Structure 1
Amino acid sequence: MEVTMSHRKCHPEWKLKPISAAIIFAIPLFVQAQTSTETAAGAASPELETVTVSGQRLASRRAIASKQASTRIMDSVAADDVQQLPDSTVAETLRRIPGASVTFNNDNVHGRDEAERPVLRGLDARYNNTTVDGLGIASVDSNTVRGARLDLLPSSMIDRLEVFKTWTPDLNPNAIGGSTNVVTRSAFAKGGGFHASMSLAAGNVSNHGEPFSDDGLPKKGGFSISNTWGADNQYGFSVGAYKERVDTYTVGHATTDSVYYNYFSNTGTKVTDPSLSNGYAVPQNNKYFWFQDSRERQGITGKLEAKPSADLSGFITFGKYQTTLKETRNENYISTTLSGTPLEQTANSGRFATGEAELGYSDQPQKRTTNVLQLGGDWSFQGDQQLSFRHGWSKASSTEIRTMYKYIQGLKFNGSGKLPSTTDVASLANTYNMVNGQPVIYLTNPANWTDASKWLADYYRDGSNIQMDNRLDDTRLDWKKNLDEESKGWGVGAGLGRTMNRFNYDSNQFDQGPSRAGLTAEGILSVTNSILPSSGGLPLLIIDPAKARQQLVNNPGYMTANNVTNTAQFLQDDYTFKELLQSAYVMTGYNTQKSRSLFGVRYDMSDIATTGNQSVTKSGIANWAPVSASASYHYLLPSFSTSYDIEKNLKVRAAVAKTIGRPDFSFYAPRISVSEANDGTLSVSKGNPDIKPRESINLDLSVERYLRDGLISLAVFDKKIDNEIYTATATNQPYLYSDGTTRSATISQPQNSSGAHVTGIEVGFLLNSLQDIHPKLSNFGLSSNLTWMKGKLDVTKTDKSVRSIDRLLGQPDAIANLSIFYIDKGLEARLAFNYTGKSLRAVDVNAPWNDVFWKERSQVDFSTRYRWNKNLTIFAEVKNLTSKGVTSLTGVNRDLLKDTYLVSRTLWLGAKWQM
């Protein structure tokens, strides 16, 4: 099978042209003219909660009602809307909201076939606040970042997904971009009583069963039951469970993990700055990853609720969510510039007389579990006062076990008791072509690629594992007087909060390999029928792990352990983190018939303690010792927000607030992690106990026009951020290794920038019916939103000078959503389009040409359902209709491939029964 992954060729790119935007947004202006006339003539009021409808239009009206009633600038997605989309997780659903996008996995170890974390208004999920029913939840991630990993939470648990763009003092201030709140289902919804539903679906994915067979069709199913009882139906319970399994594969084509392209002078000398070269980028490596995944999600959510009186209510919620990933990674790797100089070089091609190749296998199953327990109560008294208590316990854990084997063509043995290193060999002479920014490699003698006798055993890593645990206890007590939605005049509120956050990271790795030649891949190597992308037709090679393991067992005399590396791998990455957050706030508000204003201040105090391990090298001997660090921060954070109804259906809002963004757990850890490549170069990752939280001054202004059955909104925002956080990467840096030698290293460390800034405009509209455009379009509806952002990030180079980048980490320049839906009696269909512009992924402080950007990406989804009768609905869903992949770019002009991965098209066909 030929796999083509050119990021230029996959699918036509969607770009929003100004004329297109003008045409799209002219529609609501026309409808508004019609609506204004009809309203003046006494048309129906847009008080949407009085209209009884179902499905998509009900969901849209619920979202509009929530936005109109909120004291903050916000957007939401209702449960019925979620059911109309083929989104399996909360993270996927979130990207439908104006100003929100999602990021894929950012490490170089796993595949990238699913969205994991949200970005709000250009700011990464690590610096936004995520809650479930107003309380924080624990989360774990392979990158040990702060913030809930929303791909763990199923979309089926949602009653409503809320995104707040502005901040008030009663909320967690870790919300520079905004706050996301998942509202879970309630037994009292839909008027209470007994409700039950069950859904089952089978599917198909475009990439599956290669190179190995899998377990067959994707499957998913779930159920929910709720009921109320008592004389006044004052007690209720709800429970829901789900399970989903999808087997798929994803193929990645990448350059190296750090220095992606090399540059040479006209005389053939390698230079470190493209401005000193002939201007031709030369790919350093061609890496091919073939991930085969079997992903299973399952979970259960339950809630007990009580309303013994009109003034008193309480609840207890529990949840358990688990994702099990059985993943194997087959790595095929060809190095072009380990030590060679390109011959016959042109702007887009060249030849190397030698080369080096690597063949790797990794079995890396992972299990992530999140347990949640929440309880709370609300008491209304004296007519205008409310006392609210919330407490939540949550624990998230992740266990990943890796078994790895590697074979190399171009291996040099360094004597008894020493592990081998890599070298170039003439049998792997090659040429390369740059095609639309993507390197394509051709071996001069392809037969050498499949010759098992030329592949020599390099290392065995058996039983490596990574364990992460996060525990979060979150408590809040709130009191308000005359501050509800219907109140008038002055009101006041106050509250206390306490959060204890603990995170532990523990990893180990044991390396051993041959110290002399003799062990080859004969009898272990398999040649598949799968073709590597951009490789001149080379087949995917795979290692039989059982036979590789047996080779290790049968030949103990060949083996030597890398004691220096093994000691480091058991200690260098481990750390503990403990954070105590305590807060208090006061606020006052004044409401009239047409306006609402709220002013307040929050005192936020953080105490942090962390431990890690560091080594001190003396006379070539590394001595490891634990190191502790602490930090403490105190902030006084003011906020002011106001809204004014210019007329009944025209509202303007404004807000100003100071918020913070807390650094990732791992950033604080006093640790230094070092990994060594086969060519002897080092990658060094350092913590920074002196890292400071971000501080941001946020300005927001919005105008909202509520139509007869729709909405037009315009919002502008501005965020001036001090102490912006980024991971500074510097290549080709000298580093004293634990063996006493000084090596070339790529060194990464979190840093605070000297400044950052982002400004944006959000435009959105929703029309539940297009009948005002033409009566024959009455069954059609349209929803769209566009966000444009312009940012600036100042980073400090190693020479202390400052350079500016035109966006923040994770910030795209544009986000767009367009959804067209059709409703006719029992039939509903929806076509949804999402576009996310180019965004910054990683920064090399000294080398702008090594900055990495997520390439702009679009995705089309389709769903339809037919209500067979009052109990049975048949549905079909297609996610990623065009099989759009995810790509990263680098280079002087940001147009050279860093890596690209396939993302499958997923089809579901199923039925839902409800009563």
Structure 2
Amino acid sequence: MSPIPSARAQRCAAASLVLLTLLASASMPALAAAPRDSDDQDKEIVVNGTKLVPVRANDARQTTTISAADLQASPNTNVVEALARIPGISVSATEGLSPSEGNHGGIDGAARGTSNFVSIRGLSGSYNVNLLNGVNAAQGMPYSRNISLGLLPPIGLRQIVVSKTSTADMDGDAVGGTLDFQTPTAHDFGKSLNRIYLQGGFSQLAQDYHAPAASYLGQAEFARQFGADHAFGIYATGYYGKRRFAATQLDFQGGQWGYAVSVGKQGTNPDGFNREDNLILKSANAQFSRGEERRYGGAVSLDWHGAATSLWLKATHARSDIQQQIYQKGIQAGNYPAPVLRPDGLYHNGESDGEYHYWFETAPANSQLSSVQLGGETQLGRLVLRSNSFYSYGLSAAPDHAEITYLAGTANDLNGPFQVSYRNHYPIPLLSAAQLGRLNDNSLFAYQVGSGEYTAATSSAKVYGSKVDAVYALDGLVREIAIGAKFSRSERSSDNVDYSNIDFVPLTSTLSNSTLFTGQVIADKTYYPYTLPTGNAAELTRLAAAAAAAVTLSPDSRYKNVLAGNENVAAGYALARMQWGALEIQPGLRYENTVIHNRFWSKASSAGQVSGFQTNRSANHILLPSLHLVLRSAGAGVFRAAIWRSYSRPAFFQLGGGRTVKRNTDGTFSVTEGNPNLRPMTSTNYDLSWEQSGRVYRVSAAAFYKDMNDYMYDRGTDYRSTPATVTNDTTVSKPTNGGHAHVYGLELDGEFRFRDLPGALSGLGVAGNVTLQRSAARLLDPTTDAVQPMAGVPQTLYNASIFFNPARFETRLSYHFNGRLLSKYKFGTTGGALMSEWTQATSSLDLSAAYVPMPSLRLVATVSNLLDNVSFYRTVGKDAETVPQIVRAGRQAGLSLTYSF
């Protein structure tokens, strides 16, 4: 079986199910329920415990709501995986746009076996607004405006509202869309609620490798209403859990790939040779990863509903602590070039030998997202006043990272040419029995002096502010006028201290005699039978931290990654709602003013200058008009059209990244620094949609187009762009905006229930959705192709499921496909569109089965990734397979119990 999950058979089967769903849904208007009064159109329809999403008649925006029941209907490790099942949403394990993601945010992050980041209509989380109960969530990541949402479990939420269009009363910095994670209140239930949720599970791959494999999660909920007319309510929930994971990985050493045939020895690609087809791999590193994630948190809601006034206090907290170890044994041949001159003057490149490497590292990660808000609403006749004040804190840290390297001696290297074959997309080094024996002889691997490293990285943010809204009801054409204002302040701080080239084990240490290593596994039982000593991560961290504490860094080394800043955003809006027969018109105008201050370390670039902290200031203001139209037809459904402006501010790092200086071999200097004059990316957005629902079906279609200017993108290794100024012997580079970009797409979604079939078969149903997207961007960089697809935009997404809900049972088989996307641009002599890095398509087939013996008890069994597909697959080149990164995290199984009393 091929490990790559985009196999044709899987795609065809899933696509057929999606098509069947959409055709069945569209062909059944005669079975629609009779038209309902407008007052009833937002009520839930509950059938066998699973609701059909009704037409959102009173919402002018294009939105999708995921209920608490939806979150538990499929095997989701976190809320990100639940979001992946709705149209227009793509998810990833890695951020993809971070300049320092490296392996920690890249392949090692993918090895944790879950998705963490959400893209809406092709735009990464950096272009989204994330809300907790309607207020801004703090953006705690160090190098972007993204938020790692994987710390949120799929429990304890009332619903998630995904808004793909924005009205004037919403934050304007949402080029992609807005995600609002909402927790319950006591008034969402009856007079009281007592509920517990218990979950247990295991990782099959961890179990296969005799690593800790069991997982568990527990949650308790409490809700009460009291006082006259039950005006007062209190809701509280808390959860705690631990998830174990393991993964096999295939990686390549940075820079150890090139052209098989080149101009000059290991030079540039010759004319007439396709770059993708001309690639050669110079290293193959087999890795095994294991670890655990501890998650805990909760939510509290206090609310009071009076005759004309309501007050509420809401607080949320979510924390994730990950401990991860990565073990690698690889063959690296980049230091043994063996080019052969061809008759045409070109060189055929190869490697005459290879080095045996072993590497052990820890990859811890701490994340936190918390919020609190106090708000209220008062109705004074036709006037409704709303206000709230809020605070949110976000943390993204990688503390206590330690690593160490061991090498085989020169006499025990490959001792022959480095050659690979390919099997199921995996590069397999061709090793003789003697070569494999030396690779697996751990006594030959000696500690590499100066290979120890210890880093401590942390980034945090807090955001606080207030907003007020006033809505006045009118008669006639204009039914409602709303105005409002909002002020928020964000404070950011990040630091990354690196202690490299330190020694903290005996210099004569080997893999076989070091006390660091306590066990052994096979790197990959299918492809790489390489023995990997497994180690004591706590001891490695302790030794590395002690060695780092004895080192005194220079100020330039200690503070080079320190960045602090604050951002003040003041906004105001006006919005009208007009009704003309069945047509609703909502024009609006929003104004936002942003001022950002940054403080960063600046390294002296020449004699007479002094290194030290510096500051800069950025400001922008923007008008954001919008127009939303809604046409409601009793027989034909709901039609929506919208046009609105939005924008995205540059990341703090792009604006205020500290100045770094590199002395070149010719004596000149290269300086990189932030650019406070970066412009925000602006977008004019267009949206058309239609939806219809009936007794046994629902169906919807949406088309969108986003026209963007001043495109912001990652240049591959950092945020720097082409040289900005050259003075004497110094070249200064700063990040710059790209040019025009656009993305457009089509979303189809449907569900059909065979309710008219006899007996238990009436519980049968199908559901599915398809998203098709295309994009293009002008990069304005002479070292690569002028026009390329936008980074992070998958061309195809789809979900398909078949479910069966007879009486007290509920079974669902679902398939998710996440299409390939350009993940990183490549620049320079090995750059160009053909050399960009692409994250290839991944998919998962999942199964869940529920049994409800009584209304108060629900039992659920789940298995995710039934076909054991790879979870991450990235290549250099869109269609090439020569230089890959591959992660397989295996199957996950679980059992859960929900009991109310």
TM-score (norm 2): 0.87
Could you say if the C-alpha distance between residues 851 and 274 of structure 1 is closer, same or farther in structure 2, counting changes exceeding 3 Å? farther
TM-score (norm 1): 0.86
Could you say if the C-alpha distance between residues 93 and 561 of structure 1 is closer, same or farther in structure 2, counting changes exceeding 3 Å? same
Tell which deviates more after alignment, 270-279 or 460-469: 270-279
Identify the residue that residue 181 of structure 1 maps to in structure 2.
Answer: 180
Counterpart selection for 1:87 from 76, 83, 86 = 76
1:777-816 equivalences in 2 (<5 Å): 777-798=761-782, 803-805=786-788, 807-816=789-798
CA distance in 2, matches of 1:864, 1:829: 4
Could you say if the C-alpha distance between residues 105 and 669 of structure 1 is closer, same or farther in structure 2, counting changes exceeding 3 Å? same
Identify the residue that residue 314 of structure 1 maps to in structure 2.
Answer: 311
Deviation by residue 1:31-60 (Cα, 9 ceiling, x = unmatched): 22x326x85xx99999566676355433x2
Q: Is the 8 A contact 1:881 1:905 kept in 2?
A: yes
CA distance in 2, matches of 1:12, 1:513: 51
Q: Is the 8 A contact 2:681 2:710 kept in 1?
A: yes
Please state how far the C-alpha of 1:569 moved relative to its aligned partner.
Answer: 4.3
Please state how far the C-alpha of 1:188 moved relative to its aligned partner.
Answer: 0.7
CA distance in 1, matches of 2:544, 2:653: 35
Please state how far the C-alpha of 1:707 moved relative to its aligned partner.
Answer: 2.2
Identify the residue that residue 261 of structure 2 maps to in structure 1.
Answer: 265
Q: Is the 8 A contact 1:726 1:751 kept in 2?
A: no
Identify the residue that residue 759 of structure 1 maps to in structure 2.
Answer: 744
Identify the residue that residue 115 of structure 2 maps to in structure 1.
Answer: 115
Could you say if the C-alpha distance between residues 550 and 802 of structure 1 is closer, same or farther in structure 2, counting changes exceeding 3 Å? closer
Q: Is the 8 A contact 2:692 2:698 kept in 1?
A: yes
Given the alignment of the two structures, is residue 838 of structure 1 paired with residue 820 of structure 2, yes or no?
A: yes
Q: Is the 8 A contact 1:187 1:238 kept in 2?
A: yes
CA distance in 1, matches of 2:777, 2:365: 35
Specify the SS of the correspondent of 1:691: coil
Identify the residue that residue 576 of structure 1 maps to in structure 2.
Answer: 564
Given the alignment of the two structures, is residue 865 of structure 1 paired with residue 850 of structure 2, yes or no?
A: yes
CA distance in 2, matches of 1:90, 1:818: 18
Could you say if the C-alpha distance between residues 5 and 336 of structure 1 is closer, same or farther in structure 2, counting changes exceeding 3 Å? farther
1:49-198 equivalences in 2 (<5 Å): 53=46, 56-58=49-51, 60=52, 63-65=53-55, 67-106=56-95, 107=101, 108-109=103-104, 110-112=108-110, 113-141=113-141, 144-190=143-189, 192-198=190-196
Please state how far the C-alpha of 1:426 moved relative to its aligned partner.
Answer: 6.3
Specify the SS of the correspondent of 1:668: helix
Identify the residue that residue 579 of structure 2 maps to in structure 1.
Answer: 591
Could you say if the C-alpha distance between residues 77 and 571 of structure 1 is closer, same or farther in structure 2, counting changes exceeding 3 Å? same
Q: Is the 8 A contact 2:337 2:349 kept in 1?
A: no
RMSD (Å) for aligned C-alpha atoms = 4.0
Deviation by residue 1:466-494 (Cα, 9 ceiling, x = unmatched): 121111113211111128xx997432111
Identify the residue that residue 616 of structure 1 maps to in structure 2.
Answer: 604
Q: Is the 8 A contact 1:614 1:625 kept in 2?
A: yes
Identify the residue that residue 652 of structure 1 maps to in structure 2.
Answer: 639
Specify the SS of the correspondent of 1:726: coil
Please state how far the C-alpha of 1:239 moved relative to its aligned partner.
Answer: 0.5
Counterpart selection for 1:523 from 513, 521, 539 = 513
Q: Is the 8 A contact 2:167 2:626 kept in 1?
A: yes
Q: For CA contacts below 8 A with separation 6 or more, give which structure has more relative contact order.
A: 2
Counterpart residue identity of residue 121, structure 2: R
Please state how far the C-alpha of 1:516 moved relative to its aligned partner.
Answer: 14
Counterpart selection for 2:240 from 227, 243, 254 = 243
Given the alignment of the two structures, is residue 603 of structure 1 paired with residue 615 of structure 2, yes or no?
A: no
Please state how far the C-alpha of 1:198 moved relative to its aligned partner.
Answer: 0.5
Q: Is the 8 A contact 1:169 1:601 kept in 2?
A: yes
Identity %: 18
Identify the residue that residue 498 of structure 2 maps to in structure 1.
Answer: 509
Counterpart residue identity of residue 828, structure 1: E
Specify the SS of the correspondent of 2:11: coil
Please state how far the C-alpha of 1:598 moved relative to its aligned partner.
Answer: 0.6
Specify the SS of the correspondent of 1:26: helix
Could you say if the C-alpha distance between residues 15 and 845 of structure 1 is closer, same or farther in structure 2, counting changes exceeding 3 Å? farther
1:428-439 equivalences in 2 (<5 Å): 429-435=417-423, 437-439=425-427
CA distance in 1, matches of 2:504, 2:319: 42
CA distance in 2, matches of 1:49, 1:268: 69
Please state how far the C-alpha of 1:100 moved relative to its aligned partner.
Answer: 0.8
Counterpart selection for 2:462 from 442, 454, 471 = 471
CA distance in 1, matches of 2:544, 2:489: 46
Specify the SS of the correspondent of 1:320: strand
CA distance in 1, matches of 2:279, 2:9: 26
Given the alignment of the two structures, is residue 491 of structure 1 paired with residue 488 of structure 2, yes or no?
A: no
CA distance in 2, matches of 1:249, 1:10: 24
Could you say if the C-alpha distance between residues 358 and 495 of structure 1 is closer, same or farther in structure 2, counting changes exceeding 3 Å? same
Deviation by residue 1:252-279 (Cα, 9 ceiling, x = unmatched): 211234x463114378721233647695
Structure 1 residues not aligned, in runs of 5+: 413-422, 677-681, 737-741
Q: Is the 8 A contact 1:482 1:488 kept in 2?
A: no
Could you say if the C-alpha distance between residues 100 and 50 of structure 1 is closer, same or farther in structure 2, counting changes exceeding 3 Å? closer
Identify the residue that residue 911 of structure 1 maps to in structure 2.
Answer: 897
Tell which deviates more after alignment, 516-525 or 319-328: 516-525
Q: Is the 8 A contact 2:595 2:618 kept in 1?
A: yes
CA distance in 2, matches of 1:385, 1:874: 47
Counterpart residue identity of residue 528, structure 1: Q
Could you say if the C-alpha distance between residues 50 and 331 of structure 1 is closer, same or farther in structure 2, counting changes exceeding 3 Å? closer
Structure 2 residues not aligned, in runs of 5+: 96-100, 343-347, 664-668, 724-728
Please state how far the C-alpha of 1:344 moved relative to its aligned partner.
Answer: 12
Counterpart residue identity of residue 833, structure 1: Y
Tell which deviates more after alignment, 501-510 or 664-673: 664-673
Specify the SS of the correspondent of 2:623: strand
CA distance in 2, matches of 1:674, 1:411: 36
Q: Is the 8 A contact 1:663 1:691 kept in 2?
A: yes
Could you say if the C-alpha distance between residues 224 and 561 of structure 1 is closer, same or farther in structure 2, counting changes exceeding 3 Å? closer
Specify the SS of the correspondent of 1:771: coil
Specify the SS of the correspondent of 1:430: coil
1:270-285 equivalences in 2 (<5 Å): 270-273=266-269, 275=271, 280-285=278-283
Could you say if the C-alpha distance between residues 685 and 241 of structure 1 is closer, same or farther in structure 2, counting changes exceeding 3 Å? farther
Please state how far the C-alpha of 1:131 moved relative to its aligned partner.
Answer: 0.7
Specify the SS of the correspondent of 1:232: helix
Please state how far the C-alpha of 1:116 moved relative to its aligned partner.
Answer: 0.5
Counterpart selection for 1:819 from 794, 801, 805 = 801
Identify the residue that residue 726 of structure 2 maps to in structure 1.
Answer: none
Deviation by residue 1:212-264 (Cα, 9 ceiling, x = unmatched): 642x521111111111001100100001111221112122211234x463114
Counterpart residue identity of residue 59, structure 2: S
Counterpart selection for 1:35 from 31, 35, 54 = 31
Please state how far the C-alpha of 1:181 moved relative to its aligned partner.
Answer: 1.1
Q: Is the 8 A contact 1:7 1:900 kept in 2?
A: no
Could you say if the C-alpha distance between residues 455 and 539 of structure 1 is closer, same or farther in structure 2, counting changes exceeding 3 Å? same
Tell which deviates more after alignment, 48-57 or 610-619: 48-57
Could you say if the C-alpha distance between residues 51 and 811 of structure 1 is closer, same or farther in structure 2, counting changes exceeding 3 Å? closer
Could you say if the C-alpha distance between residues 722 and 864 of structure 1 is closer, same or farther in structure 2, counting changes exceeding 3 Å? same
Given the alignment of the two structures, is residue 878 of structure 1 paired with residue 871 of structure 2, yes or no?
A: no
Q: Is the 8 A contact 1:291 1:328 kept in 2?
A: yes
Identify the residue that residue 685 of structure 2 maps to in structure 1.
Answer: 698
Given the alignment of the two structures, is residue 220 of structure 1 paired with residue 249 of structure 2, yes or no?
A: no
Q: Is the 8 A contact 1:137 1:472 kept in 2?
A: yes
Deviation by residue 1:102-143 (Cα, 9 ceiling, x = unmatched): 1112431233121011110111011011111210111433x6
Counterpart selection for 1:395 from 393, 396, 409 = 393
Given the alignment of the two structures, is residue 7 of structure 1 paired with residue 1 of structure 2, yes or no?
A: no
Please state how far the C-alpha of 1:793 moved relative to its aligned partner.
Answer: 1.6
Counterpart residue identity of residue 459, structure 1: G
